[in-house]
Amino acid sequence: MLQKRYLKKPPMDRAMLVFFAVLFGASSIVIPIQGQLDQSGFLSIDCGLPANTNYTYGATGISYVSDSTFIDTGVTKPISASYNVPSLGLQFRYVRSFPTDSGAKNCYTFRLTKGKKHLIRARFMYGNYDSKNQLPEFGLYLGVTLWDTVEIVDASKVVDKEIIHVASSNSIDLCIMDTGFGTPFISVIELRILSNYNLYESTISGSMVTYLRYDIGSQSTDIVRYRDDAYDRLWYPVGNSPSWKTISTTSSIGVTTGQNSYVVPSKTMQTAVTPTDPSQPLNFSLPQVDPNTGFKFYLHFSEIEQLQSNESRIFNITLNGDVWYGNLGPRYLGLTTIGSTGQSISQGYYNFSLVKVNNSTRPPLLNAIEAYTVVDILESQTAQDDAGSMRSIKSTYGLKNKNWQGDPCAPETYRWDGINCNYDNPNSSRIISLNLSSSGLTGQITPYIGDLKSLGTLDLSYNNLTGGVPDFLAQLPSLKVLLDGNPYLCSSTSCQNGSSSNGQKHANNLGVAIGASLGSLLVIIVAGFVLFFYLKVRPTKQQSQSQSFWTFGSSVRKFFF
């Protein structure tokens, strides 16, 4: 067992507390039906739901499908009955879990639309599905990059991980990595195309990981989402605090009075907070986060009190003491967003203060806030041809019970079993050895192996391969091939079907035969020892894993008012 490097658990933060209430409180979500809303850019997956089943969840109208067509591995389990309370969203009743024999790396592969901006959300609710009451912690990867660490601290609470990512290809892997701290699992995956590419940022330098998204001053325990939010962002209710006063309106925000491209749901904007003492500023902070992590903030404002002509609400926004935005006077029932543009900020702590200007008659207010961290997601790393040919080899031989998922070479600690890679080019790693010894291979040697142009060693020994040894093996320069222990393999291409009796030779004779017929092909039989030691140089998984894992802090969501 590895030593746990990150021992300090975050205190139960506000978002979590409120979320707890959502799960167990009265769940009567009123959905105002708006026009032009559909789920055409949505893919909503209930992980662990029995294969080929689907349903529409009444509270949101979102249709969920089983995850069985997106992943080959893992086991499906219902959560424990005592956690399956009526107010719990249907999509949390099942999980897919990945016990040790599923391998350390388990990936879902999804189609995305290249060039489009996507909201990708993974949700986790343990619910003691394995009856072990062991709260796990594991890694969540998008492509080959650690997106976040999933830390389950309460069996009844939902942990959400969300990212806004512009797809650079038409598919992406979402991988769940066993890091040695308990059995990983997943409850829900939701993908949404953000039809407005300019939402948040039009020039993207990295992907945006949601750190918090709060519906400030909410008097409800419900998360606001689709269909209030056409993009299905989750707005977590943040209600009472001694230092603020809640104000609200029943009028719609932004419908006729000026919406902006952030299209924050009216329901979210209808509530706000002002300081309890109107002479004081409205302060909130995000103290002590990783100073290397870049943040982006979006503060949303709407005047929701009808002011007389002799009244005003004008304030400055300061961040860590510097004016971030000056003389803001939110319009009545309009939507005004003050957000980070361009570079993210990395200062390690973030103290916001909303301070009224001298002649303002009303104190500042705040309706909603979002914070994101910026992370560079690398979707794939293995050279495209090599990755494609590995996937073809996998499907040709029906190799399911391996960790052959996601990118073959990356992340390096979760490299596919039986391969070695050359990492000299960090965006185009090449496969240099493939070991399919004793893998139960049947049928002929697949020509896809011939597409691995950098292959130096190929071990196909101890299988039940039939047919001939194909010419393409001879065309790979300096390739070492081990074919020992394939009793029905023929020595030449003229016996492809393995049916011609004079073409069949036993493995003992094979080396000589191929050596004679395929000049440049070097076939090594029996000399496994030398290669065995040569390939053994690779470090063990456990060692490298503990070094490279904690590159991003877990998302401790503190937001103090």
Question: How many CB atoms are closer than 10 A to CB 528?
Answer: 14
Query: Does 435 contact ligand NAG by CB under 6 A?
Result: yes
**Cα 231 from Cα 117, distance rounded (Å):** 11
- Choose between 312 and 454: whose C-beta lies nearer to ligand NAG: 312
User: What does the block give as tokens for 315?
Assistant: 């304030």
The smaller minimum CB distance to ligand NAG, of residues 333 and 482, is found at 482
Give me the least distance between CB of 387 and ligand NAG, in Å please: 21
Helix (H, G, I), strand (E, B) or coil at 112: coil
3-state secondary structure of 228: coil
Residue in 359, 478, 502, 540 binding ligand NAG, rule: CB under 6 A: 359
- CA 229, distance to chain mean position in Å, is 21
Which tokens hold the place of 341? Answer: 């543009």
Residue 223 is classified by DSSP as: P
According to the binding rule CB under 6 A, does residue 543 interact with ligand NAG? no
Write the CA distances from 74 to 35, 401, 425, 449, integer angstroms: 40, 10, 32, 28
Among 437, 454, 504, 546, binds ligand NAG (CB under 6 A): 437
CB-CB contact of 296 with 340 (8 Å)? yes
Query: Quick check: 177 and 105 in contact, CB under 8 A?
Result: yes
Stretch that binds ligand NAG, among 3-11, 22-30, 267-275, 304-312 (CB under 6 A): 304-312
Q: Which of 361, 427, 509, 551 binds ligand NAG (CB under 6 A)?
A: 361
Minimum CB distance to ligand NAG smaller for 336 or for 420: 420
Distance in Å, CB of 330 to ligand NAG, minimum? 14
Query: Is residue 54 within the footprint of ligand NAG (CB under 6 A)?
Result: yes
Tell the smallest beta-carbon distance from residue 355 to ligand NAG (Å): 14
Q: Which stretch binds ligand NAG (CB under 6 A): 9-17, 177-185, 310-318, 387-395?
A: 310-318
Q: Which is nearer to ligand NAG, 49 or 112 (CB)?
A: 49
From the list 3-11, 78-86, 186-194, 305-313, the region that binds ligand NAG by CB under 6 A is 305-313
Q: Where are the alpha helices (DSSP H) in 94-196?
A: none
Instruction: Give least dist CB 69 to ligand NAG, A.
Output: 9
CB of 533 to ligand NAG, least distance (A): 9
Q: Of 449, 505, 494, whose CA–CA distance to 472 is shortest?
A: 449
Cβ–Cβ contacts within 10 Å for residue 2, how many? Answer: 11
Q: How many residues bind ligand NAG (CB under 6 A)?
A: 18
What's the rounded Cα separation, in Å, for the pair 321 and 32? 41
Residues 506 and 424: their CA atoms lie apart, in Å, by: 40
Query: Terminal CA-to-CA distance of the chain, rounded, Å?
Result: 40
Q: Which of 6, 349, 532, 560 binds ligand NAG (CB under 6 A)?
A: 532
Binding site residues, ligand NAG, CB under 6 A: 54, 63, 65, 308, 310-312, 359, 361, 435, 437, 457, 459, 482, 528, 531-532, 535
